[in-house]
Each structure stands twice: as structure tokens, then as C-alpha cells.
Structure 1
Amino acid sequence: MTPSHAPPTAAYRDRNVLRWATAYTASVSGDIVFFLTLSWAVTQVAGPAQVGAVLAVGAVPRALLMLAGGVVADRYGPRRVVIGSDFARCVIIACAAALTQFTAGGLPVLYAVALVFGVIDALFMPAVGALAGRLTDPGQLGRVQGLRVLAVRVSNAVGPMIAAIVLAAAGVAAGFGLAGLLFSLSFGLLLAVRLNRGQTAEPSTGSPLDDLRAGLRYLWSNRQLARLVVVVGLSELCFSGPVGVGLVLLTSERQWGPAVLGWALSVFSIGGALTGVLLTALPRVPRAGVVLIASLTATAVLVGALGQVTSAGALIVGAAALGTISGTAMAIANALLQRSTEPSYLGRVGSVTSLCTLGLSPLLYPLTGLVTAAWGTGVFFAGCALVCLLAALTAATARAIRRAEL
């Protein structure tokens, strides 16, 4: 008799996946607390005019080194790189907390912290993305990405709140301490995460530069994968920060006040979290490619409509719908991307998408302000809608993506 093989454990019941998801939630929350604390510290030391400069000092090396981070993740294994870079983040944040508590903690210190953190992030981001694709059976990737969306949106909802409470109650050093605590929690959980043996990759034998070239050749030669990278990059580009900034500017332009802004950002995160729960529970996503195209198209419509709303209630309802639909597109696109990528290239392919989103999106912040100042927030949101629509068209014109299943 042929031995029967048990079906893979559902991702939401897999302790290994759940440890990763909890670690990822703690890590994203730590990122949010860190950047809010850093921004607050800069305003206390040098005023708000220096905030953008300090954040740029961290964003530039992160963008420049992102592709190299993907090479390191594939060369030495994503688990090893994630654990090492997470530990390094714990150390740098502990130093930041100590310096701000026991010394003057002037502007040069904050510049140095931003710079080192940006370099470490360039290693961490591609590795943590590659790790997600190596945790369980490939058939569970849709659920894993559902957990990822849930983690991101929960962190976006909770992170700013706890950061504000700690900063108001105990100051900058405590804010850095809280970020360090969250990174330490992530580090401890990641130590217990194990890779799926069926998803192992052969170690590299070439130089790092050879690995980078091989990764780019692999992506260039695989048309479906290259299209998916474009889809992910375009669909997440505006949602890695610019849309949030746009909501701030929109509520200010309409004179609706911070309470409306808080509600809009909260329901956006809640909508995405609900999507994450749903995708995690579904055993499969039938016609995943069609669902992806439809959700990207709906996202484009909703983003464009948000820039035209004339009532606070419509903004809040639209933000909730946008969070739900955009979360669907994010999860499905990333799941299809990881399922289409050979394990040995996950870090390098992921570094390209991270560069397009987390690496380059900060560069759109000044553009957001300039466009809004010149033509109003409606034009800015229309531009974001066109980017999302381009992502939908890129997916719709690829037969392999249209027929994709999860």
C-alpha cells in the first residue's frame, strides 16, 4: 500500500507560523514606536524643521542597500539574517535609550541612530519577507500573507497609540525603551522559528556581486514573476506612507480636525485587519488572479473617490472600505509572488519589491506636499489612483496572473 501523506497544517494552527506572525507584529509595532519616538525627539531638540532631514538620513541607506540585503538573505539564509539584524536593532535602540536618558542626546546622536537603523533595516526587510515564504507548505502562502496583513494593520492601529501614551507619560528614553522591548520580543520568538525542510535552498558558491547579477537575471528572464514584482511595487507604493500623509493633508484642507483623522486611520487599519482574518481562515482563494485584478481596480476607484469627499462621515466610510480592499490586494499579490519564486531567490526578489515600496516611498513625501500645495489633495489622490490602476492593468494583461490560483 502507498503510505498516505497528511495534509499540511493550516497556517493559523501552525505554531511555527504563529510564532513568526507574532514576531512580525512586534517588529512592525517596534518600527512604528521607534520612528514616532525619533521624530518626537528631533522636535524637542531642534524643532520640526529637522525631522525630515533626520528621517531621510535613515531612508537613503535603506534604499541604497536594499538589493544587497536581498543578496545577504539568500546567501546566508533568511532566518539567520533576520535574527542577526533583529538583535542589532535591539542593541542600537538600547543605546539610543541610554544616550537620551543619561546624556544630552543632541541632534548628532539622533542622526547617528537614524543612519545605523536604516542600514540594519536594509538587511532585515528582505530577509523577513523571504522567511515568510519558507515557513510552511507553499499551499499555505495565502494564509501566511493574510497573517502578514493582519500583523501590519494591527500594528498600525496599536503602535501610534502606545507610543503616544509612553512619550506623554515618560518621555523619549522610555519611547526608545518600548521600541527595544518590542524588538526583543520579536528576536526571542524568531529564535524558535524553523524553516520548512521542503523549501530549502542550495547555498551560493559565487561572489555577492555574482549573486546579485544572478538574481536580476532570474527576475528578468521570468516574465510572470517580473510582472508580479511590478504589480506588488505599484500597488504598495502609495500605501507604504503617502496615502497616510495624504489623509492628514485632506483632513487639514477640509478643516475636520484630528478626531476625524484618527477615526479614518483607525478604520483603515481595522478594515485591513478583518481582511487578514478572512484570508487566513480561507483554505484557498479561487480565481486568485481575478480577485487580485478586481481588488486593485476597486482600490483605484476608492483612492480617487477619497480625494473628492465633502463630509467627514464619507471619509471614514471610504477609509474603512479602502483598508479592506487594499489589504486583499496586498495579501494575494505577495502570496502569488512568493509562490512563483524559487526558494533560493526569495530574498533577492523580495528586496526588489521592498525597494519599490518601503525604500522609495519616503521619496514621495515631499512630492505629496508639493502636489497638495499646488493643486489640492484631490489631485494627489487621483495620482495615487492612477498608480493603482496601472498595477491592475499590469496584472490584467498577464495571462498567467489572470489564471493564477491560491
Structure 2
Amino acid sequence: MSVVDTSVQTANTPPAEKPAYRDANVLRWLGAYAASAVGDSIYYLALSWAATRSGSPAQAGVVLAVSAVPRALLMLGGGVVADRIGPRRVVIATDAARSLIVLGVAALLLVAAPGLWLLAAVAVVFGVLDAVFMPAVGALPPRIARPGQLARIQGMRGLASRAATVVGAPLGGIAVALGGSATAFGLAGLLFALSVPLLLAVRITPLPGDDAGRPEATALRDLADGLRYVRRHRILAPLLVVIALGDLGFVGPLNVGLALLADERGWGASGMGWILAGFGIGAGATALLLAVRGRVPRAGLLQGLVLTVGASALAGLALVPSLMAAVAVAVMIGLLTGLSGTVCGALLQTRSDPAYLGRVTSLATFFSLGLAPLSFPVTGAAVGLWGTTPVFALSAAICAAGGVYGLCSRDLRRAELPR
């Protein structure tokens, strides 16, 4: 029997890559992201409560909606800012600014009742800050972890987002109950402030092109250059179409249509809450799976398949006869669409040239948070005219069109995540 000397093999074997969930640097980033996300949730609850106490329901609705306008209009420009200045600087600056603004509002509410005009102004400023914050957040992960860990980071980010939604609303409600809107605004401001030292402690690995600089280029030229880059890219161009169609078909039924469906079936607000909880459980389970597993094979093929099947489940949600069946379908929708969204996010980050990552992220965010919400009033009007079943079926067809389009794109279908 021959004895194999493994010492050389061991010496030549590269060390195993540390999983993202064991990387202290990634965990500092995740803590900063989670603190900011919980602060966001508390801020919106405090803004909603303060607006309803200061004016009519219609006026409060206007205050809550005005932040969407600058966010949608300036989102693409926010990607240019992230690429020019660097995403960490942008995230730190915006979280610091949000902290100062919200703490200032909290202090003002303690001594006066400034009225709706101040709340509307704060909402507009937050929309502007969101327009630069969101693309920068999406451009950070490739600078804090290796490409093989990006799917894990997307899963961890998804878990943090779900946790922020679950934790933020009760915390905001308790703060309002204890000390009114001023206390809730103050808590949100402290959470925004907490993210700043955590981000300062995060080690950033520069990517190729980070220091190239474009002093001769204007911001508008940078934006046009980014759009041309995406349009000519064999994977990113179809991937962004998939993201746009998936969000366009998905957000209307799950935000507006679900409330109308629950009312039509007699399930009430509690039934709607159970369905949303089922969706959250499914999406959270997918995020946890990817955070632990770290990579999925045949990523391009998988995202198209699960989005198409998830669209079928979305159509089925309007056909199920009972609340428990609807909750089970919602879990399935969360699993499938959550997996598709996370894989799309990881492909977006790994396939983008680092010099364009902020602009690519801003374009995806523009579709998801800028254009897709415009379907809300359309969905409500369509349900009023034709009922929930045809509207859910049409929305599912739009989602499925995104999945089929991705499957028909050879380059996207064959795309893989890095090991």
C-alpha cells in the first residue's frame, strides 16, 4: 500500500472562503443596514401618525405620498452620485443627514406643533436622500465580500429587511404610545445615527475602476453612458427587463388587490394580515436558505423558472376558496418570488462592471420603487371594473412574461453566479 504525502496538497490548497455570515466585516455592514431599515420603518409610522393628527386623512395621504416624487425623479441620478463619490461615503452621509433631520423634527415637536407643511417638507427631503441612498446600498456588497459570497449577502439583506418590518412597526407603535410622534421620531433618528459608526468600521476593498475618476464628464453624460452600458450588455439588459416586468405584475395585487380580495371574500383585515404573514414567511425562508447555502446552480435558468411558477401561484391566490388555502399559496409565492428576486440581485451585482454598479442598481431600483407603484391606482380601478380574479390573472401574466423573457435570453439563461 502506497502512502500519499498530503503535505504538498494541503500547502497548495487555497484556504476555504469564510462564509459571509461568519465575516465580522459583513456583519458590521449588516448591523448598519438593519439599524437603518428599522429606523426607516419607525420614521414612516411616526410620519403617518403625526400627519393624521395634524390634518385630514386626505392631507395625511398627500404628506405620505410626496416623498415618492423626488425618489422616482432623482433615482437614476443617485446612481451617478454613488459611482462618482463612492457608495460608502454616500450611505454614511445620507444616514447622518437623516439622523439630524429626524432628531430635529423630534425636538421641534416637543415644543411646538409645526403642522403639515413641515411634515411634507421632511417627506420631500427624505425622498431626495432615498434617491441617492438606495443605489449606494446596492453597490456596497461587492466591496465588502468576494463574488462567491454575494448570494449569501443578498439572503442576509433579505432577512434584515423582513426583520426590520416585523420589529420596526411594533417599536414605533410603542414609542408613539409612550411619548407621541416626537418619541418615535427620536428613536428613528438614533437608529439612523447608530448605522454611521458601524459603516465607518466596515473595511472596503476598492474595485477596478473605483479610482479612475471622470473629471471631464458631466453627470448627465455619466447617466447616458450608464444607460448605454446596460442597453448593450447581454445579461444585464434582459435581466432588468425581467426585474421590471416581475415587479410591475407583482406589487399591485400584493399591495392593493389583496386588500380588495380579503374584503370580497369576507376575510377582513385579519385575513389580509395572515396572507401577508404567509408571504413574509416564504420570502424569509428563501432568504435564510440563500444566506446559509451561499450559491445556487444554474442561476439564470433558475430565476426564470421560479418567477414563471410564482406567477402561476399569484393567479391562483384569487381562486382559492378558504383563508387557510390562501395563506398556503402566499407562502409559496413568497418562496418562489423571493428566490427569483434574490438571485436577480446577485446576478446584477456580479455581472456589472464595478464602475457602473451604482447606475445599474439605480436603474433596477427605479423600476421597483419608481415605476411599479404606479400600478396601484390602476389595479384598484381594474378590480372595481372586472373583479379580483381577472386582475390577478392579468398581473400574473405580466410576471410570467418576465420569467419567459428571461428564459428566452440565451445569455441570461446560461448565467452563473461566481463560486
In the alignment, which residue of structure 1 is the partner of 2:257?
246
Q: 1:138 to 1:195 in 2, by over 3 A?
A: same
8 Å Cα contact 2:235/2:415 also seen in 1 = no
- How much does 1:238 deviate? 5.0
Q: 1:23 to 1:234 in 2, by over 3 A?
A: farther
Please give the secondary structure, in 2, of the residue aligned with 1:185: helix
User: In structure 2, how many angstroms separate the alpha carbons of the residues matched to 1:249 and 1:27?
Assistant: 32
- How much does 1:78 deviate? 0.5
8 Å Cα contact 2:102/2:186 also seen in 1 = yes
- How much does 1:352 deviate? 0.5
In the alignment, which residue of structure 2 is the partner of 1:174?
183
TM-score, scaled to structure 2: 0.91
Q: 2:126 aligns with which of 97, 117, 135?
A: 117
Please give the secondary structure, in 2, of the residue aligned with 1:298: helix
Q: 1:241 to 1:168 in 2, by over 3 A?
A: farther
- How much does 1:330 deviate? 0.8
Matched letter for residue 161 of structure 1: P
Matched letter for residue 204 of structure 1: R
Write out per-residue CA displacement over residues 125-166 of structure 1, whole angstroms, 9 at most, x where no aligned residue. Answer: 111111123221112111111112212222223322322333
In the alignment, which residue of structure 2 is the partner of 1:221?
232
**Residue ranges of structure 1 left out of the alignment (5+ in a row):** none
In the alignment, which residue of structure 1 is the partner of 2:221?
210
Q: 1:240 to 1:371 in 2, by over 3 A?
A: closer
The yes-or-no answer on 1:346 pairing with 2:357 is: yes
In the alignment, which residue of structure 2 is the partner of 1:132?
141
Matched letter for residue 160 of structure 2: A
The yes-or-no answer on 1:230 pairing with 2:241 is: yes
In the alignment, which residue of structure 1 is the partner of 2:29?
20
User: In structure 1, how many angstroms separate the alpha carbons of the residues matched to 2:165 and 2:405?
Assistant: 29
Please give the secondary structure, in 2, of the residue aligned with 1:64: helix
User: In structure 2, how many angstroms separate the alpha carbons of the residues matched to 1:298 and 1:100?
Assistant: 49
Please give the secondary structure, in 2, of the residue aligned with 1:203: coil
**Residue ranges of structure 2 left out of the alignment (5+ in a row):** 1-7
8 Å Cα contact 1:289/1:405 also seen in 2 = yes
Matched letter for residue 249 of structure 1: L
- Once the two structures are overlaid, the 10-residue window that deviates more, 247-256 or 386-395, is 247-256
Q: 1:57 to 1:198 in 2, by over 3 A?
A: closer
User: In structure 1, how many angstroms separate the alpha carbons of the residues matched to 2:305 and 2:246?
Assistant: 13
8 Å Cα contact 2:248/2:375 also seen in 1 = no
Q: 1:249 to 1:19 in 2, by over 3 A?
A: farther
- Once the two structures are overlaid, the 10-residue window that deviates more, 65-74 or 247-256, is 247-256
8 Å Cα contact 1:232/1:334 also seen in 2 = no
Q: 1:372 to 1:356 in 2, by over 3 A?
A: same
Between Structure 1 and Structure 2, how many residues are aligned?
A: 406
Structure 2 counterparts to residues 278-293 of structure 1, below 5 A:
278-293=289-304
Structure 2 counterparts to residues 2-401 of structure 1, below 5 A:
5-197=14-206, 201=210, 202-205=212-215, 206-237=217-248, 243-401=254-412
- How much does 1:3 deviate? 6.6
User: In structure 2, how many angstroms separate the alpha carbons of the residues matched to 1:282 and 1:214?
Assistant: 36
Please give the secondary structure, in 2, of the residue aligned with 1:247: helix
Q: 1:170 to 1:309 in 2, by over 3 A?
A: farther
Write out per-residue CA displacement over residues 237-276 of structure 1, whole angstroms, 9 at most, x where no aligned residue. Answer: 4556761333222222222122222222222212211111
Q: 1:25 to 1:376 in 2, by over 3 A?
A: farther
Q: 1:93 to 1:328 in 2, by over 3 A?
A: same
Q: 2:414 aligns with which of 398, 403, 406?
A: 403
User: In structure 2, how many angstroms separate the alpha carbons of the residues matched to 1:222 and 1:7?
Assistant: 32
In the alignment, which residue of structure 1 is the partner of 2:3?
none
Please give the secondary structure, in 2, of the residue aligned with 1:194: coil
Please give the secondary structure, in 2, of the residue aligned with 1:89: helix
Matched letter for residue 122 of structure 1: A
Please give the secondary structure, in 1, of the residue aligned with 2:182: helix
Please give the secondary structure, in 2, of the residue aligned with 1:286: coil
- Once the two structures are overlaid, the 10-residue window that deviates more, 69-78 or 42-51, is 42-51
User: In structure 2, how many angstroms separate the alpha carbons of the residues matched to 1:356 and 1:289?
Assistant: 20
Q: 1:225 to 1:283 in 2, by over 3 A?
A: same
User: In structure 1, how many angstroms separate the alpha carbons of the residues matched to 2:391 and 2:61?
Assistant: 20
User: In structure 2, how many angstroms separate the alpha carbons of the residues matched to 1:62 and 1:100?
Assistant: 26
Q: 1:153 to 1:239 in 2, by over 3 A?
A: farther
Please give the secondary structure, in 2, of the residue aligned with 1:104: coil
In the alignment, which residue of structure 1 is the partner of 2:4?
none
Write out per-residue CA displacement over residues 152-207 of structure 1, whole angstroms, 9 at most, x where no aligned residue. Answer: 22222332232233333432222222222222222232121222245662323322
Please give the secondary structure, in 1, of the residue aligned with 2:172: helix
Please give the secondary structure, in 2, of the residue aligned with 1:6: coil
Instruction: State percent identity of aligned pairs.
Output: 49
8 Å Cα contact 2:249/2:397 also seen in 1 = no
Write out per-residue CA displacement over residues 342-372 of structure 1, whole angstroms, 9 at most, x where no aligned residue. Answer: 1111000111111111122332222232222
Q: 1:221 to 1:138 in 2, by over 3 A?
A: same
| Larger radius of gyration between Structure 1 and Structure 2 | 2
Matched letter for residue 403 of structure 2: A
User: In structure 2, how many angstroms separate the alpha carbons of the residues matched to 1:298 and 1:103?
Assistant: 54
8 Å Cα contact 1:92/1:117 also seen in 2 = no
Please give the secondary structure, in 2, of the residue aligned with 1:171: helix
- How much does 1:308 deviate? 2.2
Q: 1:128 to 1:238 in 2, by over 3 A?
A: farther
